[in-house]
């Protein structure tokens, strides 16, 4: 069965610095990977996804993610963090054609320090 791990419960970054939120996955076939963001008392918002093609995927709000098949990772990145990026970030994965559910990681809380 597919699974996804976010090894950090919380990441603190100073405003203006680059940020990385880590995600590793385990699938039996080809991975389909997603990042979502959740602001307080809100639903999850889609940021970006990897299906196939370029390993560097660009998404909303200046975020991007790098797919690394050999390391089974899909880390979320942003070159320059904003205080407004502070939120809960979820990595998610799908891989089985007849099992359409998306499995989410436990989430990483990102704090951007002014």
Give the interface with other proteins as residue ranges (CB under 8 A).
32, 34, 36, 42-46, 49, 51, 90, 94-95, 97, 99-107
Over its C-alpha atoms, the chain yields an Rg (Å, rounded) of 14
Closest approach of other proteins to the CB of residue 4, in Å? 11
CB atoms within 10 A of CB 79: 11
Residue 29 token pair: 């076939």
Closest approach of other proteins to the CB of residue 28, in Å? 13
Would you say 12 or 45 has its CB closer to other proteins? 45
Nearest to 105 by CA among 39, 28, 25: 25
Closest approach of other proteins to the CB of residue 62, in Å? 19
């Amino acid at each position: 069965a597919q699974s996804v791990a976010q090894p950090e419960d919380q990441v603190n970054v100073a405003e203006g610095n680059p940020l990385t939120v880590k995600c590793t996955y385990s699938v039996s076939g080809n991975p389909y990977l997603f990042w979502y963001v959740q602001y307080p008392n809100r639903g999850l918002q889609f940021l970006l996804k990897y299906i196939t093609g370029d390993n560097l995927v660009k998404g909303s709000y200046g975020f991007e993610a790098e797919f690394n098949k050999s390391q089974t990772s899909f880390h979320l990145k942003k070159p320059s963090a904003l205080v407004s990026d502070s939120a809960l970030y979820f990595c998610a994965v799908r891989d089985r054609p007849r099992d359409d559910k998306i499995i989410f990681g436990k989430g990483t809380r990102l704090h951007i320090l002014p």
